Structure 1
Amino acid sequence: MSSAYADEIPQACVGCTMENARETSNMMLLKDIPISVWTDKKTYEHSDMIMVEGQVANVASGYPVTITVVNPLNSIVTVDQITVADDGSFETTLNTAGAMWKYDGTYTIKANYGSADKKNSVKVELTGGVAYSPGYQTPTSSKQCGASEISADGHCIPFSISGAVVTGATLNTDDNSIVININARESDGILTVTPSKTVQDGIFMILVDGQEWDDVEIVGNKVTVMFPAGTEQIEIIGTFVIPEFGTIAAMILAVAIISIIAVSARSRLSIMPRY
């Protein structure tokens, strides 16, 4: 199986996996690097699953590995924290089906362990999607969200998650909701979302995979959802969600048309002869 490695990883280890690395001297090469990360392939199509594995040289109890994925637009696709095993190994799965994964090109998967100097990265190529050209900006917004924010239709929403990876998010103006797609692993997890009141307000209901969910905590605009393994979608419903630009434009246009009709009618009345 071909593996894609960061440039810093010795070339003698290219092509190895965690299983055969333990059986060869390649493991000694990995030990010379504070943290290493690799994938099962170098090239993927959209909707593929990316298997990410890695190794930490010196395990620090209680510290997870933070995985950050950046797309060709230099926007953060997803962030997740991975538990490190006693032997220093870690692994996770990334689903490329989300909206932030739609562009063809180079995606950088970064791994960080505790401090700024304990980091590594690997690059993979995605094909068969939307062609990307340098300098292109998404039509919804050029704003880049931070590592602890979800991008939903151009709006950045603070979040944290354990036991799953966020693959994308959208705003549903019909239901006044935020729809968050996740890829949950084999264990249960927790998602915390804190949208600003300019994005969503009056949160009163949570749906997990389309079913009303009770295992939640809502405090103002902070929502904490305890979800089971295998969950794919969480929807946060409120009394308000910010409309997309197109909706606002339509409302403005409607008001303008009504105003024009009113002014025109008044003008016709003013020029009609009176007897």
Structure 2
Amino acid sequence: MLALFFTPAFAQIQTPITVSTDKTSYSEDDIILVTGEVRDLYSGTPVSLIVKNDNEIITLAQIIVGADKKFSTEITASETLRTAGTYTVEVTYGTQNRMATTSFGFEGSTTSPSDDSSIGFDNRIPVEGFADVIGYNISGANLLGIFSDMDSSSLIVNVDAFNDGTISISIPRSIIDAKIGNDDSEFIILIDGEPIEYDETSSSPTYRIITIVLPVGSEEIEIIGTSLGKDEITTPNHTPSDNDWQNQYFEVLSDFNNASAKIGELQKENQELKNQITELEHTVDNLNAVIREQIKVIYDWILSR
């Protein structure tokens, strides 16, 4: 009698990455569960998620892949989606060769911001935890994501500036604002940690529009205000004067400019020292040549005697 033995086969996905949602359609009170799996595990590489509606980016996220090669995230429909329609979920694992998509329907939101500051802008992007969205136009760079930093009461804008360019951002006051008392004050804006000046081109009771020049190679813009959402920065036992916030900004900018000037002076002194060393090396070489010639003369004289 011939006995046959079969080794159990464990299912493994054939494509580099898969993605799906727990339902095919959602309403504004729903939580959208996105799950997926990768075929091969690449340590330290997250899954990049983009949700789009008619090629408009609605939200972005980075998802950690577990040791079991699976990943998941939740999206709150009421905080992220507004327009009824079909939404596409696109996930990428490291390279475009490892990409997958799925889609779902949304019935639409019954609530909307009282003043949509993103109208008139080519692009819109949400900030996690806020109902309002940010509108922006950008040139010479790609916007990779916008995140809030509660500790510093700031927005972090990640960009990839492949050329010199600009970005105009319509910022809802419900997300971030800068005020002294009831009056608007200036934001403090840093590009890759360095303070810069900007133009505020428009404002209303619900939003402010600013334009920032982006040098090539820029990666991070930090917009610092006095309040993020409903959290307002206060200093115990101190009421700031009308110019405190502006003075602080220009003090930081002045310190930066002074430091830059000092670095320039040190670089100039360093170059002068290099030039002096080069001159001394030439002098030593000349002296060595003279000494060698004198030694040769003395040696020839001795031989001739």
The TM-score normalised by the length of structure 2 is 0.43
The TM-score normalised by the length of structure 1 is 0.47
Larger radius of gyration: 2
More helix by share: 2
